[in-house]
Structure 1
Amino acid sequence: MTASRHQMTAMAIQLPPTVPSSVPSPCRNVCRVKRGICTGCGRTLAEIEAWPTAPDSERLAIVRRAAGRIRG
């Protein structure tokens, strides 16, 4: 039996485990990056990448910085 292309791709990608959190993601599903910042949530690419494994303290800091980028 041969694995399908989808199954092989899923097996090859190893995502880091997500840290349980009470801080909701600022993602608005408007993912467009302009000058390295998402126009939907205001996060940088590095912040988006760090989100799944960031502790709550870092997530709160990311949310604050992102909100400041959206407002100003």
Structure 2
Amino acid sequence: MAMSRKIAGFLVALGAFMVFEWVMLAFNLADGHPTAFYVVHGVLIAVNLVLAVVLAVIGWKGFRKAPGG
């Protein structure tokens, strides 16, 4: 079953929002925390950026293959 354009657009928008959100978090981390804090948040940021790109790619492919597109 093909993905609807509405769902595909949502996935692309969600991926874009996630990239924006996690990049802003990376820039806004304040100094003065223990190293473990930065390691944990660095891993969270990296994993979520990968997930965001995967969702956006799935959405983009679905958008291009959706009926009416």
Greater relative contact order (CA < 8 Å, ≥ 6 in sequence):
2
TM-score, normalization by structure 1: 0.35
Q: Name the one with the larger helix percent.
A: 2
Q: Name the one with the larger strand percent.
A: 1
